[in-house]
Structure 1
Amino acid sequence: MSGDKKEQEQSFNILPHPAKSNNPSDQSSEPAEHGGLQSASYNAYNAKGPHIPSHEIQQGLEQPKSRDELKAEAEKLNS
């Protein structure tokens, strides 16, 4: 190694978290800046309600199996 090139020890710093409390709405900066639940693409606080399919789609779905049918399926798969 050459004498004019000094080796420097790598150092790391711990930075404080920007939150002042556990409430996500208390963030003072823009939500999209930090990502998470309030980011532009995943805004959990402005989510829509559940999707209820139309009557035609509901009629096209198969009926759920009874407990006895499910138990018979499980026994068949486990044997």
Structure 2
Amino acid sequence: MGKKNGEDKRGLKLLFWNIAGLKKKDHLFWDYVKNFDYVGLTETWILERDWNKLKNVLPKEFQWKLQEEKKKNARVERKVES
């Protein structure tokens, strides 16, 4: 979108993805995620114990947090946002 008077006018790049299976994503996925300013990943199916392991793999360019959802039926839905 270009610059006007030295200002960057490209806007904010958002990624919102119903990911289903975050633990299985490889480096190509994480390289793609780095192209965005804000990332919202839903239905990651991440448990608290897995979240503690996964935090070390997540891109350091973001501040990540896990927002746990209430249990629905026998499954637990969880959401990760940067």
- Determine if the TM-score, normalized by the shorter chain, exceeds 0.5: no
Shorter-chain TM band: under 0.3
More helix by share: 1
Q: State the TM-score, normalized to the length of structure 2.
A: 0.21
Bigger relative CO (Cα 8 Å, ≥ 6 apart): 2
